[in-house]
């Protein structure tokens, strides 16, 4: 198994906190997973419909859009509409790594 990590380490606590806030709900994690399955870009209505196929993740349109807006504020997705339907595009693939700290006794 290859453990090579691509990307950058986020060491700024404010940036890390913003990203964590953008993913601090299970529905937002689901949105990120579905976007990756759909090729990283989808119409908002199609994305919400796909997420809602899994019963625990059913949301009304306005609630689902509010979650995606929070992800956009964190820079995880881009939510745009240019004289047409809203489109959501994944901007960051977020991976979390945890390192145990061994105390010295």
pLDDT, residue 3, reads 61
Residue stretches of the chain with pLDDT short of 70: 1-5, 105
pLDDT, residue 2, reads 58
pLDDT, residue 23, reads 86
Instruction: Please enumerate in sequence order all residues whose Cβ is within 8 A of that of 95, keeping only pairs 6 or more positions apart, or say none.
Output: 5, 7
pLDDT tens digit string along 15-30?
A: 888 888 888 899 999 9
What is the SS3 assignment for 79?
A: strand
**What is the SS3 assignment for 70-92?**
HHHHCCCEEEECCCCCCEEEECC
78 forms beta bridges with: 89
**Domains recognised in the chain with CATH numbers:** 13-90 (1.10.10.10)
């Amino acid at each position: 198994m290859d453990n090579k990590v691509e990307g950058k380490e986020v060491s700024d606590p404010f940036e890390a906190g913003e990203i964590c806030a953008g993913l601090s709900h299970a529905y937002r994690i689901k949105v990120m997973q579905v976007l990756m399955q759909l090729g990283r870009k989808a119409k908002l209505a199609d994305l919400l419909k796909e997420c809602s196929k899994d019963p625990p993740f059913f949301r009304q349109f306005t609630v689902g859009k509010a979650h995606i807006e929070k992800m956009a504020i964190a820079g995880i997705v881009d939510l745009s509409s240019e004289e047409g339907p809203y489109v959501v595009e994944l901007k960051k693939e977020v991976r979390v790594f945890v390192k145990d700290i061994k105390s010295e006794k």
